[in-house]
């Protein structure tokens, strides 16, 4: 009888775990590495401990850190590669996976480590914890992000030792499923490794719940680009449905403007060119008169972004994507008004990724959607 009760309890537990994984695969999952149990944060996000996802490493609590999930971590003093596995995901759906690393001298070695993180065995990023992390506050953490379509209903995140003296560690893993159509420029085996995501004219970091997909949009504006000005839309709302990547509406309510300007520092890692995915977002901040026109072109190292001039629409989001091009740390974006435009150029948002497992599809410069013509720090450095 007792064995029957135990068996029933075991089966019930399996059912609960299975249901939990189904729910998490649909909505995403947030794993607090180095802890047990679960909790709900101030944004109503449920975090779970890493039991069941990893069998190696040692957990530690950083006693002088208050904020979750960065007040705990798991580090790996042995082994070349240590993996989190069976992380639920939605097969075939473009998904964002973010890993965070908050060092804060947890090991009392005063030696921030470097190591690699590999997502689902395919997409590798290098993590280099900088010395300023010894003194950083709890709002400053290192992180890595990749977007890809899982080949199965679960994914892995592996930490790879790249130096014998450095122990890889991790503070959290977050998985968020995108809606169908988002980042559809991504090939089936490719991944997008984030290097930059900015909201221009914004004054604060924008993320969940303002961005329901939990992307991190860092504020940039006139204080970073002397001679330019920050603008706020007069529209009561912004229609983002024409922009396939669905930038959050709050990003599109702001803009940075100037009479033709150049943006340097795309945060790419070196002077050696690598394949990139570039997404730009625009929205006209004012209702234009009949004789007014906002029209401009954007060039990445001389290659035009989009197939025709960009004409932002008042109250709507315009997205322009460029991929299948090579860029480096020396690359620049140049904004130029067209001859028939009487208004300064603008930008609301930008994303820069390198393309992992790159497949040249010969797109010839990407596409544009949601435009008026169609009625579209380093990655591991944060703040």
CATH of the domain at 238: 2.60.120
pLDDT over threshold 80, residue 118: yes
Output 138-141 pairs: Cβ under 8 A, ≥24 positions apart: 138/65, 138/66, 138/67, 138/70, 138/102, 139/383, 140/382, 140/383, 141/70, 141/100, 141/101, 141/102, 141/171, 141/382
Let me know if residue 138 belongs to a domain.
yes
Q: Are residues 217 and 78 in the same domain?
A: no
pLDDT over threshold 80, residue 135: no
Residue 373: pLDDT band by 50, 70, 90 thresholds?
very low
Q: Are residues 162 and 208 in the same domain?
A: no
Q: Which of 120, 146, 177 is the last residue of a domain?
A: 177
Give which of 256, 271, 246 is closest to 335, Cα–Cα. 256
CATH number at residue 149: 2.60.120.260
Let me know if residue 209 belongs to a domain.
yes
* Averaged pLDDT for residues 301-323: 95
Strands of the sheet with 169-170, listed across from one edge:
58-61, 72-75, 169-170
pLDDT over threshold 60, residue 23: no
Per the model's pLDDT, the better-predicted residue between 345 and 138 turns out to be 345
Q: Are residues 108 and 233 in the same domain?
A: no
Residue 1: pLDDT band by 50, 70, 90 thresholds?
very low
Q: Which residues of 339-364 are buried (b: 16+ CB within 10 A; e: fewer)?
A: eebebbbbbbbbbbbbbbebeeeeee
Q: Are residues 205 and 310 in the same domain?
A: yes
Q: Which of 177, 205, 229 is the last residue of a domain?
A: 177
**Cα–Cα distances in Å, from 305 out to 153, 247, 346, 360?**
35, 18, 14, 17
Q: Are residues 198 and 173 in the same domain?
A: no
Residue 99: pLDDT band by 50, 70, 90 thresholds?
very high
Residue-wise pLDDT for 39-60, tens only, equals 999 999 999 999 999 999 999 9
Q: Which residues of 24-35 are buried (b: 16+ CB within 10 A; e: fewer)?
A: bbeebbbbbbbb
Query: How many domains is the chain built from?
Result: 2
Please give the model's pTM, rounded to 2 decimal places. 0.87
Residue 127: burial class (beta carbons within 10 Å; 0-12, 13-18, 19+): buried
Q: Are residues 97 and 125 in the same domain?
A: yes
Residue 68: burial class (beta carbons within 10 Å; 0-12, 13-18, 19+): middle
Q: Which of 177, 209, 232 is the last residue of a domain?
A: 177
Q: Is the dihedral of CA 263, 268, 271, 277 positive or negative?
A: negative
Q: What residues make up the domain containing 36?
A: 28-177
* Averaged pLDDT for residues 348-356: 97
Q: Which residues of 90-99 are buried (b: 16+ CB within 10 A; e: fewer)?
A: beeebbbbbb
Q: Are residues 32 and 161 in the same domain?
A: yes
What's the chain's average pLDDT? Answer: 87
Q: pLDDT at position 361, please?
A: 64
Q: pLDDT at position 366, please?
A: 46
8 A C-beta contact, residue 114 and residue 380: no
Extract the tokens encoding 86. 């069976």
Q: Are residues 157 and 264 in the same domain?
A: no
Q: Which of 146-160, 173-187, 349-363 has the lowest mean pLDDT?
A: 349-363
Torsion of CA 90, 88, 245, 185, to 10 degrees: -60
* Averaged pLDDT for residues 259-272: 88
Q: Are residues 200 and 157 in the same domain?
A: no
pLDDT over threshold 80, residue 379: no
HEC assignment per residue over the chain: CHHHHHHHHHHHHHHHHHHHHHHHHHHCEEEECCCCCEEECCCCCEEEECECCECCCEEEECCCCCCCCCCEEEECCCCCEEEEEEEECCCCCCEEEEEEECCCCCCCCCCCCEEEEEECCCEEEEEECCHHHHCCCCCCCEEEEEEECCCCCEEEEEEEECCCCCCCEECEEEEEECCCCCCCCCCCCCEEEEEEEEEECCCCCECCCCCCCCCCEEEECCCCCCCCEEEECCCCCCECCCCCCCCCHHHHCEEEEECCCEEECCCCCCCCCEEEEEEEEECECCCCCCCCCCCEEEEECCEECCCCCECCCECECEEEEEEEEEECCCCEEEEEECCCCCCCEEECEEEEEEEECCCCCCCCCCCEECCHHHCCCCCCCCC
Give which of 166, 160, 126, 121 is closest to 144, Cα–Cα. 126
Q: Which of 1-10, 72-81, 147-156 has the lowest mean pLDDT?
A: 1-10
* Averaged pLDDT for residues 94-116: 95
Residue-wise pLDDT for 200-256, tens only, equals 999 999 999 999 999 999 999 999 999 999 999 999 999 999 999 999 999 999 999
What percentage of the chain carries pLDDT values higher than 70? 86
* Averaged pLDDT for residues 136-164: 91
Let me know if residue 377 belongs to a domain.
no
pLDDT over threshold 50, residue 7: no
Q: Are residues 203 and 343 in the same domain?
A: yes
Q: Are residues 168 and 196 in the same domain?
A: no
Residue 87: pLDDT band by 50, 70, 90 thresholds?
very high
- Give the Cα separation of 317 and 312 in Å (integer): 7
Let me know if residue 371 belongs to a domain.
no
Q: pLDDT at position 281, please?
A: 98
pLDDT over threshold 70, residue 104: yes
Let me know if residue 79 belongs to a domain.
yes
Q: pLDDT at position 124, please?
A: 97
Let me know if residue 220 belongs to a domain.
yes
Q: pLDDT at position 369, please?
A: 39
* Averaged pLDDT for residues 272-300: 95
8 A C-beta contact, residue 87 and residue 177: no
Q: pLDDT at position 141, please?
A: 83
8 A C-beta contact, residue 252 and residue 262: no
pLDDT over threshold 50, residue 4: no
Let me know if residue 22 belongs to a domain.
no
Residue 63: pLDDT band by 50, 70, 90 thresholds?
confident
* Averaged pLDDT for residues 371-379: 27
Let me know if residue 370 belongs to a domain.
no
Q: pLDDT at position 17, please?
A: 39
Q: Are residues 36 and 159 in the same domain?
A: yes
Per the model's pLDDT, the better-predicted residue between 66 and 300 turns out to be 300
């Amino acid at each position: 009888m007792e064995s029957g009760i135990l068996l029933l309890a075991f089966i019930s537990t399996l059912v609960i775990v299975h249901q939990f994984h189904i729910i998490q695969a649909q909505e995403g999952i947030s794993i607090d590495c180095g802890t047990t149990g679960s909790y709900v944060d101030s944004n109503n996000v449920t975090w779970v401990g890493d039991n069941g996802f990893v069998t190696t490493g040692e957990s530690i609590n950083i006693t002088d850190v208050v904020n979750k999930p960065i007040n705990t971590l798991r580090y790996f003093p042995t082994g070349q590669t240590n993996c989190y596995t069976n992380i639920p995901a939605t097969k075939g759906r473009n998904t964002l996976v973010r890993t965070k690393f908050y060092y804060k001298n947890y090991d009392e070695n005063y030696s921030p480590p470097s190591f690699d993180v590999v997502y689902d065995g395919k997409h590798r990023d290098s993590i280099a914890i900088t010395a300023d992390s010894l003194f950083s506050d709890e709002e400053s953490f290192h992180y890595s992000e990749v977007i890809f379509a899982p080949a199965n209903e679960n994914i892995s995140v592996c930490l790879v030792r790249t130096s014998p003296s450095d122990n890889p560690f991790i503070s959290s893993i977050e998985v968020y499923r995108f809606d169908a159509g988002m980042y559809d420029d991504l090939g089936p085996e490719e991944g997008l490794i984030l290097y930059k995501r900015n909201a221009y004219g914004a004054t604060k970091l924008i993320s969940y719940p303002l961005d329901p997909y939990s992307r991190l949009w860092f504020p940039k504006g006139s204080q970073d680009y002397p001679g330019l000005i920050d603008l706020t839309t007069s529209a009561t709302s912004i229609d983002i449905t024409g922009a396939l990547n669905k930038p959050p509406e709050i990003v599109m309510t702001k803009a940075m403007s100037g009479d033709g300007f150049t943006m340097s520092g795309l945060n790419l890692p070196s002077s050696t060119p690598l394949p990139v995915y570039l997404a730009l977002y625009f929205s006209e901040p004012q209702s234009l008169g009949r004789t007014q026109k906002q029209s401009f072109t954007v060039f990445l190292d001389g290659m035009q972004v989009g197939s025709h001039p960009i004409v932002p629409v008042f109250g709507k989001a315009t997205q322009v994507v460029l991929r299948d091009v090579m860029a480096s740390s020396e690359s620049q974006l140049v904004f130029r008004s067209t001859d028939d435009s009487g208004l300064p150029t603008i930008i609301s948002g930008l994303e820069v990724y390198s393309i992992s497992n790159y497949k040249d599809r010969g797109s010839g410069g990407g596409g544009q959607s949601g435009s008026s013509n169609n009625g579209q720090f380093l990655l591991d450095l944060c703040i």
